[in-house]
Every structure is written in C-alpha cells, then in structure tokens.
Structure 1
Amino acid sequence: METVKKWLDKILSMICVGLFGALVLLVTWQVFTRFILNNPSTFSEELAKYCFVWLVLFGAAYVFGENGHMRIEFIQDALPKKFKMAVQIFIELSIIVFSALVLLSGGLTITKLAWTQMSAALHIPVGYLYSVMPICGVIIIFYCLYNIYTIVKNKKPLEIM
C-alpha cells in the first residue's frame, strides 16, 4: 500500500506540474494573441479552463495524499490519544463518504450527461472536463483508506503538516 501511495504521489505531482506549465503557456499565448496580434486565440481560453479545473482537482487529491488539507486542530489537539485517533478516523470516513457521493457518483453522472455535449472551441466532448471528478474521487478515497490503515497500524494519530 505504501508503494502505491509513493507512486501515486509522484504521478500526481508530475501531472500538477505539467498542468500548471501548460496553463502558464496557454494564458501567455492568449494574452499575446489578444493584445499584441489583436486576434484572440479561439482554443487557448477553453483549453486553459480545462487545465485549470484539472489542476485544481488533481492538486486537491495530491494535498489529501500529503495530509495537508485544511482542518481545525485545536479541538483535536485537546483530546487524549485514543480519542484523537477516533476523531481522525471519523474525519477520514466522512471524506470517503463525500468523495464517494459527490466526486465519484456525481462525477460519473455529470460525465455521462456531458459526453454528448461538444465544447465550442475545441470540438471535443465536455465529458472530458468532468471526467477528472470521478478520477480524483477514487484517488482521495485511496488516500483516506491509506490514512486509516496508517492510524490503525501505528496505533497513533497521524502527524499533521
């Protein structure tokens, strides 16, 4: 499980760096064509939108893998070790439920609905834009299961970044 996590971390970080680089290039091209050439690029704005949405969701999944997501710690820190472990497991289970219902199930539904709709500039199915939701839902669920496994295996709460 730890090997899968390390590979997934590496893959997600490379995807995020690649998407960010592509986003910078696309937006730079859009600005250049709009203000210098006075002929805005038709594809770069829409492709930048796709890159941004994908970057946000893959980045969120990566942050879950690093256990660096936002949380309110002062209540959790006041608890004894066993309660702290139980609270962390409850939080991970809550995230699993959210990811399964919203990202995975809802993402699959919206992807299927949007698969027949074509994007205006790129002429590809809009389903590609939404397909990142179920992918990231599965990744976040894996990270939550990994965190629960780590808590139970080590018999101590996770270290928070």
Structure 2
Amino acid sequence: MKALKLIDKYLEEVITILLFSIIIVVGIEQVITRYLFSFVHSWSEELMRVCFVLLSLVGFSLCEKKLQHVRVEVIKLILPPRLLVAANVFSSAVFLIFCLLVTHYSVKITAMQFKSSQITAAMGLPTWTYFVFGPFFFGLMAFRIIQKEILPLFRPQKESRMM
C-alpha cells in the first residue's frame, strides 16, 4: 500500500527527471564529441527527440495531477458558483473523453506499427516501442482527470476545489 502511494505521489516527477537527465547527458555528450573529437553519433538526436516528446506527454499528466493545466480563468469571474461547478464538470468530462479517445486511437496506431515491423532510422529500434508510450501517458492522464477532478465531486467537502 505504501508503494502505491509513493507511485501515485511521485510517478510523473520521477519520469520527468529521468527523461530530462537523458536529454541533458546525451546533449552534452553530443556537443563534446562533435567539437572536441569531430565525431557525431547518429542515434543521439533521435533519442533526445523521443525523450522530448515523452517529456511533453508526461508533463500533461503532471499538470493534471497538480491541477495546473491551462484553463480559461476569466470564467471564474463571470459565472455564479453553481454554474461554475457545472462548467468545470463539463470541461473535465470533455477533457476525459478526449484523453480516452486519444488513448483508444493510439493503441490502434501502436498495433499498426507493430504489424508493419518498421524500424527507426538511427537507432534501429522497432517504431512501436516509441508509440507504446502514447496509450500509457494518455491513459495516465485520463486516470489523473478521474482522480483529481471527477472523484472529488462525489466526496463531501466544506469548500469546493473547483471554485
């Protein structure tokens, strides 16, 4: 149970630190080998690009977990509290449906990549190994939307989080 709480609390942060570290270490290594040894690794740019895309995906989930994603804040000033709650429920539902749709179609795309046996140009890895992170991170984001925005609506609270 304690392990699940640690995973819930730090999963996105650990993945973010890991991906950022890979980008920094590979980038520094690439600069050093290019300018000091006049040698270039063909795989480094591809690895950094993939890590950057994965960093963006995990960043979406991290923003949802911390409730710091982009919202139109002017609506809070205009709407009365009851309509504000309804608007927040609606936006959370739409965001959840979007994440579930992206997860569904990214699973299909990953399966197509798996069947095609296509490999990447520089690293020679099967392309499905990159595409498999799409369903994972969008599924994680859908989980965070349910956890942070939908479930709190069903728990009694003194003051609503969405106001």
Fold match, TM over 0.5?
yes
Shift of 1:4: 5.8
Partner AA of 2:50 in structure 1: Y
| Larger displacement relative to structure 2 (134-143 or 29-38) | 29-38
Structure 1 residue aligned with 2:27: 27
Structure 1 residue aligned with 2:83: 83
Shift of 1:143: 1.3
Structure 1 residue aligned with 2:143: 142
CA distance in structure 2 between the partners assigned to 1:143 and 1:4 by the alignment: 14
C-alpha contact 2:100 2:138 (8 A) present in aligned 1: yes
After the TM superposition, which parts of structure 1 deviate over 2 Å for at least 4 consecutive aligned residues? Answer: 3-9, 154-160
C-alpha contact 1:5 1:143 (8 A) present in aligned 2: no
Q: What stretches of structure 1 of length at least 5 have no aligned partner?
A: none
Shift of 1:9: 3.5
Question: Residues 5 and 65 from structure 1, CA distance in 2 versus in 1: closer, same or farther, beyond 3 angstroms?
Answer: farther
CA distance in structure 1 between the partners assigned to 2:24 and 2:71 by the alignment: 30
Structure 2 residue aligned with 1:98: 98
Q: What stretches of structure 2 of length at least 5 have no aligned partner?
A: none
Shift of 1:157: 3.7
Question: Residues 6 and 149 from structure 1, CA distance in 2 versus in 1: closer, same or farther, beyond 3 angstroms?
Answer: farther
Give the structure-2-normalised TM-score.
Answer: 0.86
Shift of 1:61: 0.8
Shift of 1:109: 1.8
Shift of 1:118: 0.6
| Larger displacement relative to structure 2 (50-59 or 4-13) | 4-13
CA distance in structure 1 between the partners assigned to 2:6 and 2:62 by the alignment: 11
2:116 counterpart of 1:114: no
Shift of 1:55: 0.9
Q: Once superposed, what is the RMSD of the aligned Cα atoms?
A: 2.0
151, 158, 161: which one aligns with 2:161: 158
Structure 1 residue aligned with 2:15: 15
CA distance in structure 1 between the partners assigned to 2:4 and 2:86 by the alignment: 25
Question: Residues 119 and 38 from structure 1, CA distance in 2 versus in 1: closer, same or farther, beyond 3 angstroms?
Answer: same
C-alpha contact 2:104 2:135 (8 A) present in aligned 1: yes
Structure 2 residue aligned with 1:125: 126
Shift of 1:30: 1.4
C-alpha contact 1:76 1:87 (8 A) present in aligned 2: no
Give the % identical residues.
24
